[in-house]
Structure 1
Amino acid sequence: MSYPGYPPTGYPPFPGYPPAGQESSFPPSGQYPYPSGFPPMGGGAYPQVPSSGYPGAGGYPVPGGYPAPGGYPGAPQPGGAPSYPGVPPGQGFGVPPGGAGFSGYPQPPSQSYGGGPAQVPLPGGFPGGQMPSQYPGGQPTYPSQPATVTQGTHGTIRPAANFDAMRDAEILRKAMKGFGTDEQAIVDVVANRSNDQRQKIKAAFKTSYGKDLIKDLKSELSGNMEELILALFMPPTYYDAWSLRKAMQGAGTQERVLIEILCTRTNQEIREIVRCYQSEFGRDLEKDIRSDTSGHFERLLVSMCQGNRDENQSVNHQMAQEDAQRLYQAGEGRLGTDESCFNMILATRSFPQLRATMEAYSRMANRDLLSSVSREFSGYVESGLKTILQCALNRPAFFAERLYCAMKGAGTDDSTLVRIVVTRSEIDLVQIKQMFAQMYQKTLGTMIAGDTSGDYRRLLLAIVGQ
């Protein structure tokens, strides 16, 4: 699958789009190339699939809390806006009158979308000057410019050269044969092959030995290491669909998982997830969302699972100004909130267009749009709307914050840690690592090493390239 005209000339590929040649694809017949070993979860009316493979209803732990992002360090000091090269004094994206900075995520590199003028990064800041509790030790030092993203280096995992599926299958077979397991051999193979290559290894293993690789791995591994290995061997679209099904199965709903997947994926990815969800689990994703959520949060997720966001990368500045005015009138400028207006604009506009709208809103309303959403909404719909805006500003920074929150404090939200590291490993984990170091003054690898142990830690660090 290709993205015509993408990325725009001179601009690094937009975070969230796989590098050329590494996109997932599905045969036109609608049949998914998932080997046996991926049974539907929960049984019941689902189509019968071989029972070996992935954990059932009791498999993954429920992810922990999902703190609402509170902005990032680097608020301009009272007394005026910082100056930027090429921006005349008193113009550009300085601090609006009243001293309210444009809070939120650090901005992507100052390149242009769609051939327009270069966008100057906006200063970061905290709404109301408050320091979020997730930044320990007081005000951290924060670089005024975002980390430089090297063109062409998005994922930490790339296809291995001189790949031989039969040879890798033999290595894994020897690692699991006899007494004990050679976990290091498993780590060396799994962490250095792309997902597409892992699917070929799985097929070669069954061809050579007449056994299911997933079933053998499950019998040799346990706990977080097992969860991580199984996730790595799931095709990417299946893993997203599996995670959504798991989030809505049984008592309770893991709303943060629904937000993380449906509010961050591309149109193509979402449409493939919807088809896979139907094909593999015999269920309609939209119907499951409607039965497990309600109100404005339900409507936002239903909008997201249509996969119809505008993906034109050019920016209409007049529309941005009009949308900013409409959002102000729907929220800050009235008593009560017109939730449908927020839903319509945030669910349909392209991410570059939303960035322009946020800039226009900040200049017009003397307050950034993320702060207004926090004032007008609460709960999961607030988290969903803010996730969309944060991805429009800087998708890698959103995932960096999710990773940090999964590991900070006592305990670790291993399911979130595994899911983000695995799903972003071939897309933008390089940029996520850069943003993590920039935002928290420590490397992602250092924090993973401090929160995990054993073979699980070794494999995670190998994936993130530590």
Structure 2
Amino acid sequence: MSLSGDMEEYVEVPTVLPAADFDPVADAHALRAAMKGFGTDEQAIIDILCKRSNAQRQAITEAYKKEFGRVEEGSNKNPRDLIADLKSELGGNFENVIIGLMLPTDEYCAKQLHKAMKGIGTNEDVLVEILCSRPYDEIVQIAAAYEKLYGSTLEADVQGDTSGPFQRLLVMALQGLRDNYAYDPVKAEEQAQILYNAGEGTVGTDENAFVEILGHAGQRHAYLIFQEYKKISGKTIEQAMESEMSGELLHGLLAMVKTVHNRPAYFAERLEVAMKGLGTDDDALIRIIVSRCEIDLANIKFEYERINGRTLLSAVKSEEEAGETSGDYRNALLALIGSA
């Protein structure tokens, strides 16, 4: 999407759809057969869990518990649990993909956020990717799952782990201060001028002005601001911010801007960053594919090929050839990405 012309609309297209003729009990038995005895049939696990919707995986978990979770009276054994059994049989990045798929998406994202903040240091890239790129209704669900899992609010933990304008940007995303329905061309022109005066038009940068305006602007209104900014400056808002700012605040603001223009393209760029250079950022690769496969991964695939001149499938396969992704881990990713 360019800064000229009308804002494009797109229909979200997933790569993982609910399986037809779904039988959770049959799947539960097939998974148990794949894990019992010597060795594990990893391909059978991929063929089932990577080709079912999240709701179907939850149904399989319940069926597995009913079929195999019974414990004899007086026994000190724990009831058999599908996720526990998968963890005991799998390992490494393959385990991370499969266990990620077994969690409801909001719970999975909540766990990723907690992982990014716990211990020494904070992975700001994960906070940005999850909180600055998603619609507010998704963020509400993630925040609720976070509080249920960890007993503290996501907002409180974000405030405890971040500071300054970056903290304000994340908190605004959590509080849902954007009005996604209102847009005002006159106000957009005024705000574009304020942003120009706060950055390019002065010595130094008033970062708070960018946070307050972009943190409140819904998608349509933000798009008008970006159009007006280019008329004033001759530069895109992205170019202006990249010349005026740096660090996590820049990344957060850019994520908001890019997802206004084209959310799938933003995630396509994130996937390329995860795979380029020496080594693969497996956490990012897994997180994006697992969390978007039932939302818009087909759109992300399209944008990835448009931007990079190669398909996402070929990119993941080339990572295997370089020794970065391999075996069952690679096969699980490819199953989620889909061939078409």
Could you say whether these structures have the same fold, taking a TM-score greater than 0.5 normalized by the shorter chain as the test? yes
Contact 1:270 1:306 (8 Å CA) reproduced: no
**What residue in structure 1 maps to residue 300 of structure 2?**
432
2:176 and 2:30 map into 1 onto residues whose CA distance is 41
**What residue in structure 2 maps to residue 158 of structure 1?**
17
1:166-190 alpha-carbon deviations (Å, 9 max, x no partner): 1111110111111111111111101
Contact 2:7 2:223 (8 Å CA) reproduced: no
Counterpart of 2:54, as a letter, is N
**What residue in structure 2 maps to residue 293 of structure 1?**
162
Once the two structures are overlaid, the 10-residue window that deviates more, 292-301 or 211-220, is 292-301
Q: Summarize the alignment of residues 402-417 of structure 1 with structure 2, pairs less than 5 Å apart.
A: 402-417=270-285
Q: Summarize the alignment of residues 251-262 of structure 1 with structure 2, pairs less than 5 Å apart.
A: 251-262=120-131
Report the 3-state secondary structure (helix = DSSP H, G, I; strand = E; otherwise coil) of the residue aligned with 2:175.
Answer: coil
2:246 and 2:315 map into 1 onto residues whose CA distance is 30
Q: Summarize the alignment of residues 60-459 of structure 1 with structure 2, pairs less than 5 Å apart.
A: 106-107=1-2, 119=6, 151=11, 154-210=13-69, 211-312=80-181, 315-451=183-319, 452-459=325-332
Counterpart of 1:266, as a letter, is P
Paired residue total: 324
Cα gap change, 1:164/1:120 in structure 2, threshold over 3 Å: closer, same or farther?
Answer: closer
Shift of 1:354: 1.1
Structure 1 stretches of 5 or more lacking a match? Answer: 1-105, 111-117, 122-147
Structure 2 stretches of 5 or more lacking a match? Answer: 70-79, 320-324
2:238 and 2:217 map into 1 onto residues whose CA distance is 16
Contact 1:238 1:276 (8 Å CA) reproduced: yes
Counterpart of 1:460, as a letter, is L
1:388 and 1:213 map into 2 onto residues whose CA distance is 38
Shift of 1:267: 1.0
2:288 and 2:2 map into 1 onto residues whose CA distance is 21
Contact 1:155 1:426 (8 Å CA) reproduced: yes
Shift of 1:260: 0.3
1:308 and 1:315 map into 2 onto residues whose CA distance is 14
Contact 1:107 1:394 (8 Å CA) reproduced: no
Once the two structures are overlaid, the 10-residue window that deviates more, 356-365 or 218-227, is 356-365
2:56 and 2:20 map into 1 onto residues whose CA distance is 11
1:125-153 alpha-carbon deviations (Å, 9 max, x no partner): xxxxxxxxxxxxxxxxxxxxxxx96x5x6
Counterpart of 1:192, as a letter, is K
Shift of 1:378: 1.3
Contact 1:289 1:302 (8 Å CA) reproduced: yes
Report the 3-state secondary structure (helix = DSSP H, G, I; strand = E; otherwise coil) of the residue aligned with 1:305.
Answer: helix
1:310 and 1:193 map into 2 onto residues whose CA distance is 35
Q: CA-atom RMSD, angstroms? A: 1.7
**What residue in structure 2 maps to residue 463 of structure 1?**
336
Report the 3-state secondary structure (helix = DSSP H, G, I; strand = E; otherwise coil) of the residue aligned with 2:253.
Answer: helix
1:349 and 1:224 map into 2 onto residues whose CA distance is 38
Contact 1:300 1:347 (8 Å CA) reproduced: yes
Shift of 1:315: 4.0
1:276 and 1:429 map into 2 onto residues whose CA distance is 23
**What residue in structure 2 maps to residue 115 of structure 1?**
none
Q: Percent identity?
A: 46
Cα gap change, 1:433/1:348 in structure 2, threshold over 3 Å: closer, same or farther?
Answer: same
2:255 and 2:141 map into 1 onto residues whose CA distance is 21
- List, as ranges, runs of 4+ consecutive aligned residues in structure 1 with deviation greater than 6 Å: none
